[in-house]
Amino acid sequence: MTQAKQRCLTVDQIGYPLNAKKSVISAGKSGTFEVIHSVTGKPVFQGETGPLQPDEAAGTAVCSGDFSALAEPGSYYVSLGDEISAPFVIADNPYKELHQGLLKAFYLFRCGCDLSEEYAGPWSHAACHLADGTVYDDSEVKLNSTGGWHDAGDYGQYTGPGAKAVADLLLAFELNPQAFRSPLPIPETDGITPDVLHECRYELEWLFKMQDDRTGGAFHKLTTKQFPALNVMPEDDLADLYFLPVSATATGCLAGVMAMASRVYRPFDEVFADRCLEAAKRAWQWLLDHPEVPGFKNPQDIGTGEYGDEQDLDERYWAAAELFRTTGDETYHTHFKALAAQQFPKYELGWADMGGYGTFAYLLQDSAKGDNALLNWLKDGLLEEADKLAAICTADGYGISLTSADYIWGSNMVVMNRAMLLLIAYHLSGNDKYEAMALDHIHYLMGRNPLDISYVTGYGDRPVMHPHHRPSVGDSVADPVPGLVAGGPNRGLNDDCMMEHLQGKAPAECFIDDELSYAGNEVTIYWNSPAVFVVSHFVK
């Protein structure tokens, strides 16, 4: 695939808030730079870059030029010698449209309903996956399976990753409600309940169906036995659907997200909130009844995403925290304190390590409800983790919290998850450095990176155009479905396309915008969701 020449000067291709720090990153060239007004063509700012410094992840020397003093709204680009950057804006509220697009993507991920042209534009398609699903370990049982979001570039649906995505969106709404005032719009838009809650409810209604009525446990996933071809549209994927067996990790995630939803939705719909809480309690009881459960493994004839996870302490910890925060019942508090004493990651936010959500739930509640010693211990640990990330940011040429080893499959999720943690640290401490560093992570995602690419389809001067995403490949629309976060550089080169084209590249350059690159250029709901959270903090 032919790709455009990379620019040596990289910027956030969306723009910069008026009063925030603003900088351009230059690879391989230092000196005097100018900021040029895009309309008049006249320089409005001149500065000097710092000295070039080697950047291991980028595989080259880089420097930055600061133009924070420029706080005049407008459209600009940067020049240094014969190099120019992408255009960008300086504005009071530059990320509003990006935020809307990242959130609207969840509507475009919907399964089981018509995506009408009114709301989906040229990416409309007919309802899909309408047949009942078969319970894998009891083929006589058929269950309604419609609704929810497709997980990724395929059409599978997974309880744990879906719960993570909903949790990110609900946290974003809880902490930054101002960002969700404008309608998207979507079919449910009513001017009363924020659209983010309408959209999350679409997934939550599906998650109810993933709870086994017989036991209260949660089915691990709902998929066909194998993935369809890459050009198959969702309504043409007619293979049989299966509810794969109950797992402890899925059940813990369902308990956590339903308890959280009960709290968030109560001011808007008490009946729905009660239903969520009942589901959470039933799932929690299943966890109590099944203290030792092996991790989920795909049956031999299933080839869809496994999302295997041997460790379920983190999901149980999250469930206990949310149930305690929502109900105030000391029984859940007792379980949470016992789980907190166990050894597992308590500040991670990935689908396999959900402990961070339990920690956030405990720290963000009314402190009078918690145990002071435990609150202080968890807060100190979170701030220590944030300081570790801050040290990585300071050493990194692009200002983000990834070391060379962190450019893994889904590295952009790691980028956004870590920015989430920095923003929670800011919320709890008031330390401005965490907020500023989180903003640098948005700049990276939106183009201020070694490849000079916006990792969000449809946004920026040079966005991803060929994601590994079946509707984007299978439809007749030239542009991909917009608002999707690509997985990002992956030094593991875990697919044939990457192996063929990216041998010898530096970690942060191990990315190719090719639909065949599922290990770098796929999209998922749980890569979009932390991006929504982070961007929402900076939307007025």
Question: Which residues are designated catalytic?
Answer: 513, 522
CA separation for the pair 108, 95 (Å, rounded) = 20
- Report the amino acid identity of residue 197: L
Q: Any bridge partners for residue 133, and if so which?
A: 143
Tokens matching residue 379: 């807060």
Q: How do 242-243 and 221-223 pair as beta strands?
A: antiparallel
CA separation for the pair 386, 380 (Å, rounded) = 10
Helices then strands, counting H and E runs in the chain, come out as 15, 17
List the one residue out of 70, 72, 78, 66 whose CA is nearest residue 13. Answer: 78
Tokens matching residue 519: 């290990």
Q: Three-state SS for 150?
A: coil
| Through-space distance between the first and last CA atoms of the chain, rounded to whole angstroms | 39
CA separation for the pair 36, 461 (Å, rounded) = 16
| DSSP letter assigned to residue 477 | -
Q: Any bridge partners for residue 16, and if so which?
A: 90
| DSSP letter assigned to residue 187 | T
Residues 6+ apart with CB under 8 A from 35: 43, 44, 45, 46, 67, 70, 76, 77, 78
CA separation for the pair 190, 268 (Å, rounded) = 12
